[in-house]
A and B are shown apart, each in its own frame.
Chain A
């Protein structure tokens, strides 16, 4: 293992190179820009034999991904926030057409008001699109999940696209030590892309056809089943990944000091690092607090969540998003997973639009949960309301 200190975006670009995509259509948007700049340089320098397509919008970027994937190429793109919003129509098409596209999402807030800073609203708004969604805690996870995502997506029993989500700026622009795997190992793990079906003049086939009412529901059912099956595939290939690369991804949810915890914090992404530090300090003060890190939001691992949280007295969900008029999206899912257990689930919407979340905030949230105060926007500045 050779650790190198790299910017997250560059580490991701180098990892994508190792996965050998043949076509990369991309449109730069903050905070994803360094990834596609990095990939453009890699291709221009002859370090990756791939077609880089400078498209004129994110809608075109994913459309070109669909074209390249149906033609039998392994493809990659990356986007964020408004770019993902502009892709929306194509996002649903890519999933319905069951194309194994991997796309990096540098999580960023959604306008309006305009914000380039981090929260997870962009990928969360795509939760019903039929894409797999993986969330990285640090840059090592971000690069590992890219490799893992290709393996899962290209399994002929799955055939789904995947978002690999990592917090914009917090991960994408931060220099951290990462272990970049060797080309030989990645080649061995992934192998060459073997499309299930592709455009071929000798064997004509049309993709993305319309379905009449007699067929549409069955297509949706089969798509849904594939997303559910992806949970086991992620675990299976995550275990294989661990055996080959030394970092295990066989669990969709990861506990931290959760075994004997009375209060469980539930979170996704880079905030988990802050939460772990806060938990260490609270444990030193005798508070039995633990963390459940959701690595995978779609498919949602309801059974794993319910099992991991079965013994706690209180659940506090940290949501870097809000389903306006309802609650945070993660809290809604956690409540569904824990339905019938009578464990109170409190939702704390925080860190929106890049608002900093510090250890003291996590401790304050634990105090609020202990008092039974929750389902709130945490950290509002009352003086500007």
Chain B
């Protein structure tokens, strides 16, 4: 994608500008352990955790910046999310 002049952007440019590359750690969701409480979706500052039709959650790694809040806030009963170091 060619750069625009003067740091300009048009609507929908986030489709091209993904922020997942910022990560050092990325989250892995264990849907078997997930209690479907939705805390991770509520807490995600990036809004990149989405509910699936079966009420489990998946994480969009194109935009997840690896802050780890979802793993931290996932209730003790489940601890369905773990952070894994990115291989770069």
Flag if B3 contacts A222 (CB, 8 Å). yes
Contact-residue size bin, chain A (C-beta under 8 Å from the other chain): 20 to 34
Flag if A204 contacts B11 (CB, 8 Å). yes
Flag if B5 contacts A196 (CB, 8 Å). yes
Which of A97, A196, A204 is B7 in contact with, Cβ under 8 Å?
A97
Flag if A207 contacts B3 (CB, 8 Å). no
Chain B 17-41 residues near chain A, CB threshold 8 A: 17, 19, 21-22
Chain A 106-141 residues near chain B, CB threshold 8 A: none
Flag if A207 contacts B21 (CB, 8 Å). no
Chain A 197-228 residues near chain B, CB threshold 8 A: 197, 204-215, 218-219, 222
Interchain CA distance A196-B8 in the complex, whole Å: 12
Flag if A97 contacts B3 (CB, 8 Å). no
Q: Which residue of B lies closest to A221 (CB)?
A: B3
Residues of B within 8 Å of A276, CB to CB, are: none
**Contact of A238 with B by CB under 8 A:** no
Q: Which residue of A lies closest to B5 (CB)?
A: A98
Q: With A212-B17, A212-B19, A214-B21 known to touch, is A96 a contact of B6 (CB < 8 Å)?
A: yes
Residues of B within 8 Å of A214, CB to CB, are: 21
Which of B6, B17, B19, B22 is A159 in contact with, Cβ under 8 Å?
B6
Flag if B10 contacts A219 (CB, 8 Å). no
Give 14 new A-B contacts, CB below 8 A, not counting A159-B5, A209-B7, A219-B7. A96-B7, A98-B5, A197-B5, A197-B6, A205-B10, A206-B9, A207-B6, A208-B7, A212-B17, A212-B22, A213-B21, A213-B22, A214-B21, A219-B3
Interchain CA distance A206-B7 in the complex, whole Å: 8
Interchain CA distance A204-B6 in the complex, whole Å: 15
Flag if A209 contacts B9 (CB, 8 Å). yes
* B residues whose Cβ falls under 8 Å from a Cβ of A: 3-11, 13, 17, 19, 21-22
Interchain CA distance A214-B21 in the complex, whole Å: 9
Flag if B3 contacts A218 (CB, 8 Å). yes
A31 to chain B, nearest CB (A): 32
**Contact of A180 with B by CB under 8 A:** no
Can you identify 28 A-B contacts, CB atoms within 8 angstroms? A98-B5, A98-B6, A99-B6, A159-B5, A159-B6, A197-B4, A197-B5, A197-B6, A197-B8, A205-B8, A205-B10, A207-B6, A207-B7, A208-B7, A209-B7, A209-B8, A209-B9, A209-B13, A210-B7, A211-B7, A213-B21, A213-B22, A214-B21, A215-B17, A218-B3, A219-B3, A219-B7, A222-B3
Interchain CA distance A7-B63 in the complex, whole Å: 59
Residues of B within 8 Å of A207, CB to CB, are: 6-8
A374 to chain B, nearest CB (A): 42
Residues of A within 8 Å of B5, CB to CB, are: 98, 159, 196-197, 222
Which of B6, B13, B19 is A97 in contact with, Cβ under 8 Å?
B6
A216 to chain B, nearest CB (A): 9
